[in-house]
Chains A and B, each alone.
Chain A
Amino acid sequence: MTVNKENFITEKNIVIGLDAISQRDAIFKLSKILEKDGTITNSNVFAKDVLKRESLATTGIGNGIAIPHGKSEAVRDASMIFAKVLKPLEWNSLDGSKVDVIFLMAVRPQGGDKEHLKMLANLSGRLMDDDFLNFIKKENDPKKLVSSFNKEEV
């Protein structure tokens, strides 16, 4: 395992105990956080782009995990936010499960910084790894989560 030289995911990208009443509510609330930290310029524009993507096909990949994502002009540079919700949310998941873990990914329409995109791609791929899934389901320590997210897949 190596660590990316540029760890753009930090503890500010981790939200444990998100209070959301619906998928839409969760996406808007997480978008607000991304707006506050400067990742995106406009949370409403971004959230709508994410919901547009969601309307094409669910991002509820099963096992209680969802990876909503949007390509949006409102994104400054590719990033993501990780959240665990207080109450599982209906997400129309592939396996019908309610969602309690959310990876919200933000990308510019033209792509953008390769390192950031690579990190998101790597994280997506690791979601197919049962050990990684078990880890993120159980772990609530932002430091440990960040450290795992910034590891490159071997």
Chain B
Amino acid sequence: MAKIVAVTACIAGIAHTYMAAENLKKYAKKEGHSIKVETQGAMGIENRLSKQDIADADIVIFAVDTTISEADRFDGKKICRVGTSEVVKNGRAVIDKAISEI
């Protein structure tokens, strides 16, 4: 069981940010991993990842189509980068990909 943290952000910040977040949670849970997902959408940063969350994570997933805010928080961490559509289309594959990069 791995510890995953993720940030999701799409262009408009309306739909894909939140779909990607839910799909990451859905498949991480199915595969027995813990996950915390920060969304950066039209409502700003929500469910913000703490320093401790990031420090404890085995892998970081950036499911983003745009630049993310406060990316420097993740300096030195292993980051798996994908687009939000990739996560919406196949959440399981993205979780598997992230796990394989640990």
A interface list, Cβ under 8 A from B: 53, 56-59, 61-62, 67, 69-71, 94-95, 105, 107, 111, 114, 117-118, 120-122, 124-129
Contact = CB atoms under 8 A, between A and B. Distances in A.
Given A57-B65, A125-B21, A128-B22, A107 B88 contact: no
Pairs of residues from A and B, 8 with the lowest C-beta to C-beta distance, nearest first: A125-B22, A128-B22, A124-B18, A124-B15, A121-B18, A125-B18, A94-B89, A128-B23
Interface string B1-26: 00000000001111111110111001
A126 B88 CA distance: 12
Contact of B42 (A56, A59, A111): A111
B16 to A, nearest CB: 8
Interface of B: 11-19, 21-23, 26, 39, 41-43, 65, 85, 88-89, 91
A94 B12 CA distance: 18
B41 A121 contact: yes
Given A114-B43, A124-B22, 11 more contacts: A56-B11, A57-B11, A57-B65, A67-B19, A69-B15, A117-B43, A121-B15, A121-B39, A124-B16, A124-B17, A125-B22
B89 A107 contact: no
Given A114-B43, A128-B23, A128-B88, A53 B18 contact: no
B96 to A, nearest CB: 17
A61 B88 contact: yes
B14 A105 contact: yes
A111 B21 contact: no
Contacts of B14: 69, 71, 105, 107, 117, 120-121, 124
B82 to A, nearest CB: 13
